[in-house]
Amino acid sequence: MFLQQRLSVCFLATVPRCRPRLTSHASLTQFCSRTPRKINVFYAPSILGFRTYSSESEDSVPRARYRLSCLRSEDLGPWDFLDLGGCRERAVHFQPGGPRTTLFYARTAPYTPFPAHARGYLYYHPPSPRYPFSGSVRLRIQSNEEHGTDLLLPNGTPWQIVLPQMVTLPSYAGLLKQLLREDLVTSETVDQCRELFWGRKILHPNTLIFRLDQPFSILMTQAHVSLTTVGRSKLGTFKKPTEFGSPFGPYPYKGVILARFELSAEGTHMYLRVVKIVERLFCVRSRHKAYVVPPKEGEAVVPHDRWRSKAMVNRHSFFSNASGSSPPLNRPITCYFLWTS
């Protein structure tokens, strides 16, 4: 009887102008059939009893949970296959009653769902001994290739949950617990990483640079490149204006590129090399494109010290052809010590 009263209260909260009291499931069904607007109501068990869900809201329906056995790539089996195609989010767990981890593809507004081909195996990508904090959980896409490929984000970087996220964000506690259980990471590494990233609640894997040659994405319309360099005991900040715009107006090109840093032969200067053009570059402001040279794949680029004329990159530009006569970036590398510490 108590359960029936609770069901009645839940239903009264969702349907206006309903009867003051419903005493049975039959009367509930009868009442729903008399309402001019049909609403399908069902009940799902929860920790505190029964919860009411409505077919009006698709997001309110609880999503299926996947139970996985491990994250070690050598021990994965067919039962660990994960289908994320088209899902906005998916909750996974490892042990019965253990903490669950909700996976998102891209936390944008609105959230971007996983692509249709996001079907494969969740696994731990181990770091090299020199960069112990760069380990991450990734999704290996099942394909005809021998080893498959990792799921990528729209900006061309791997979809991943890095170790600094797992040690600082409670929502990834389930993944961290599983890594410790399988001895994929040590408690000492976790403690060091947690101490290093203490107090940081917003972490984007694309902006965390663990090694000098690590690719990162750049939007042609963004004003600055802001990166966090990660060492064993220190964090550094690299922030430089991209200034892809002309000296007389805004940014003429739109697109996304992958780039990485390169150290000069003398070890005193840093260059930038375009690894890949992820999103095709196209001109959105033809009046200013003559003042900015667009980047090309495989091209090493350095800034010019002075602005020249049309068809040449302006003095503020982040890019220019390194094979030309332009001087290198005559500034000391303030963050390079992080990779050698």
Residue 60 within a domain: no
CA distance 206 to 153: 10
283 within a domain of the structure (yes/no): yes
**Cα angle 128, 168, 67; round to 5:** 80
Q: Is residue 325 part of a domain?
A: yes
In a domain, 257, yes or no: yes
Q: Are residues 250 and 198 in the same domain?
A: no
Highest mean pLDDT pick, 97-111, 132-146, 187-201, 211-225: 187-201
Asked if residue 232 and residue 254 are part of one domain, the reply reads yes
Based on the fold, state whether residues 130 and 259 are members of the same structural domain. no
Q: 8 with 27, same domain?
A: yes
Q: Are residues 74 and 195 located together in one domain of the fold?
A: yes
Q: Is residue 155 part of a domain?
A: yes
| Domain assignment of residue 256, given as a range | 216-340
Q: Which of 202, 234, 260 is the last residue of a domain?
A: 202
The secondary element (H helix, E strand) that includes residue 224 is strand 224-230
Q: How many structural domains are present in the chain?
A: 3
For 299, other C-beta atoms within 10 Å of its C-beta total: 16
Rounded-to-integer distance, Cα 183 and Cα 177, Å? 10
**pLDDT over 70 at 7, yes or no:** no
Contact 161, 175 (CB under 8 A): yes
Shared domain for 69 and 134, answered yes or no, is: yes
- DSSP element (H, E) containing 256: strand 253-263
Q: How would residue 31 be classed by pLDDT, with cut points 50, 70 and 90? A: very low
Flag whether 59 is in a domain. Answer: no
CA-based angle 154:134:98, to the nearest 5?
85
Same domain? For 223 and 325 the reply is: yes
Residues 264 and 203 sit within 8 Å (Cβ to Cβ): no
- Over residues 165-188, the mean pLDDT reads 95
Q: What is the pLDDT of residues 106-145, one digit of tens each?
A: 876 577 899 999 999 999 999 998 999 999 999 999 765 5
**Both tokens assigned to 115:** 């692509």
Domain boundary among 156, 173, 202: 202
Q: Which of 173, 202, 231 is at the close of a domain?
A: 202
Q: Is 275 contained in some domain? A: yes
Mean pLDDT over residues 326-330, rounded?
35
Residue 148 included in any domain: yes
**pLDDT confidence of residue 42:** 36
Least confident of 44-48, 229-233, 237-241: 44-48
Q: What is the mean pLDDT of residues 274-290?
A: 73
At 63, list the tokens. 């999503």
Task: Please tell me the distance from the alpha carbon of residue 54 to that of residue 327, in angstroms, as a whole number.
Answer: 65
Instruction: Pull the structure tokens for residue 321.
Output: 């052809």
| Domain identity same for 31 and 158 | no
Hey, what's the torsion of the CAs at 218, 326, 306, 267, to 10 degrees? 70
| Beta strand spans in 70-146 (E) | 81-83, 89-93, 101-104, 119-125, 136-141
Q: Same domain for 187 and 120?
A: yes
